Amino acid sequence: TVVSVGDGVLTARTVSGIIKVPVTADTSIRLSHRPDAGPSDLIPGDLVAVSLGGQDGGYYADKIVRVPLKTRNKHVPGKVVAITDTHITVASTVPAAAPVIFRRAQNTPVRFHRGESEVGVGAFVIIGAVRDPLTGLISAEAREINVIPELESIDKGTSGGPADGVDSFNQAKIVGIFEEIDKDGNWVVNGASISIGPSTGLDEGLTVGQTIQVHAELLRGGSLLARRIGRAANGEEVAGETKLEGVFEGIEPLTGDWIISGLPIKVGTTANTDGIPSLGQTIKILARLEDDGSLLAMEIENRLDSDYSQAGSAPLKLQGVLLAVDEQGNWEINGVKVAVDRSTRLEGSPALGRTIQAKAVRQGDGSLLAQTIEGETLIELLPGNRAELRGSIEEIFDDDSMVIRGILIERSILTETEGDSQIGDFVEVDILIQKDGTLLAVGIEPKDETIQSEFPRSSPVNVRGIIDRVNPDLSLVVNGIAVALSALTDVKGTPVSGAKVDLEGLFNADGSITARNLVVRGRRATLGGVEARIDGLVEEMIRDRSGKSGA
């Protein structure tokens, strides 16, 4: 990955560390759609392949090729509307999209899942195909055909719901190796079996052996239904790099900018595109923040597997680094400002300088209002296959296991529980999904259910983070975000700078949070100093003469 280019040297990050390679006048620079490219056309974050040449006993970059970020593999789901020995025609899940025709050969693999036994008109299939790395277009050759039952979609509503239809009170996240597709058509990831269907959002380029992440929903009985499956982040975010997904609304005649869900994007001759998209078509963009505050597209992918939308009605999805919260309360994500209010749903614990994801809609004045903001969640930060469940305890059995929202949760002596849980209590449970599919509670914490009933149009905010500062008026700054405390705030522990906190509250109009509940974690809340945690086996218990164990 390119770190910098200048003074005749290419600095790049490799798996072995940072390297510096001399660049000469004879170095060939190859970029898609840019035959006359030079070193200045390479920017930080570009993925490149470098061929070395020898000169005077040393080495220099003989050829530098920028690798297109668009993936080669493509999954096309839909219903079969026509099939012959040589072709298969699939009606996309996009209502307005034209059917896609693929060629098939006698040796094209056809895989049947979950009891399906034939492929014909009306069957639901997922076609495996490839993308031309130069044009970005999908090949007409079907590499494989997967036949699965058409699962009934679960309607989550259209207003106020979390991104991609996932129930934020009932979610799981799996990060691991994509191991296989089993005989029932389930994807096996990190040992967990996950169901997919027409409502599952699949990123391109997913192949067995890759590290992927799955956002799923826990169903009754403890099974998992995938809502979104994509490549796992590599943890290396490039400053100023923004990923967007939105609807193409046209080209501004004066500037030539592409308008994506109301946001102008500059598209130059060096951008790797799939051509001009159709009006209303969803596209994905990788852009960089320019010095003047504009966004310049680097890669553009025209999506073929998402709904067409009317201009002005489609949300904009963006991913980038949270740079600041301005005086008006707007959250700035790599140059894109989004407003928040009490309807904004916050998931995870965002922090300044860390990557977040947002889903926003355009308001009447042209500004963007965030519907959801996602930062890192506890289930992302902890090892193993994790899930998070909120709800009322419906049953408690003699073995201490319990039922929440129809899902059986086991407990062990290591389960951390705040208080004595009773039937009817509203709780949040951090869950470890075990290899045999059972769900083990790691932690159980009572939650305030009244916040939603008192403010029915509001979305509770839950943040776990570090106190950056305690202000003279006793307000706080947590993860770079202003947090107000009121006389009604239930505070447990003493807030001090550097302490870990869990807070629950509501967004204010200025982008700050008013805390309803604040829990200060760790000894630093009362003793100060440095907190440390040691994980391991107890090797020896030392007791004094009275039989008491030492600290």
pLDDT for the residue numbered 87: 93
Helix, strand, coil fractions of the chain, as percent rounded to 5 = 5, 50, 50
The span from the CA of 344 to the CA of 342, in Å, is 5
The span from the CA of 488 to the CA of 448, in Å, is 13
Q: What is the pTM of this model?
A: 0.52
- The mean per-residue pLDDT over the stretch 347-363 comes to 83
Given a cut of 90, is residue 48 above it in pLDDT?
no
Question: Which of 121-130, 144-153, 259-268, 287-296 is least confident?
Answer: 144-153
Q: Tell me the per-residue pLDDT of 484-518, one tens digit each, with 9 for 90 and over.
A: 888 888 888 889 988 888 888 887 777 788 888 88
Q: Tell me the per-residue pLDDT of 23-36, one tens digit each, with 9 for 90 and over.
A: 988 888 877 556 67
Q: Which domains does the chain have, with CATH numbers?
A: 2-66 (no CATH), 73-148 (2.40.50.140), 163-231 (2.40.50.320), 241-374 (2.40.50.320), 379-446 (2.40.50.320)
* pLDDT band with cut points at 50, 70 and 90 for residue 434: confident
Token pair listed for 550: 């030492």
Contacts of 355 (CB under 8 A, 6+ apart): 233, 237, 319, 320, 321, 322
The span from the CA of 530 to the CA of 524, in Å, is 7
Given a cut of 80, is residue 539 above it in pLDDT?
no
The mean of the pLDDT values for the chain is: 76
Given a cut of 80, is residue 547 above it in pLDDT?
no
H/E stretch holding 452 reads helix 450-454
Q: Measuring CA to CA, how many Å separate 243 from each of 164, 299, 305, 310?
A: 17, 10, 18, 22
- Which of 141, 131, 87, 192 shows the shortest CA–CA distance to 432? 192
Partner residues linked to 34 by β-bridges: 31
CA dihedral over 116, 118, 124, 129, signed as positive or negative = positive
SS (H, E, C) 418-448: CCCCCCCCEEEEEEEECCCCCEEEEEEEECC
Q: Tell me the per-residue pLDDT of 251-267, one tens digit each, with 9 for 90 and over.
A: 888 888 999 988 899 98
Contacts of 452 (CB under 8 A, 6+ apart): 458, 460
Given a cut of 50, is residue 526 above it in pLDDT?
no
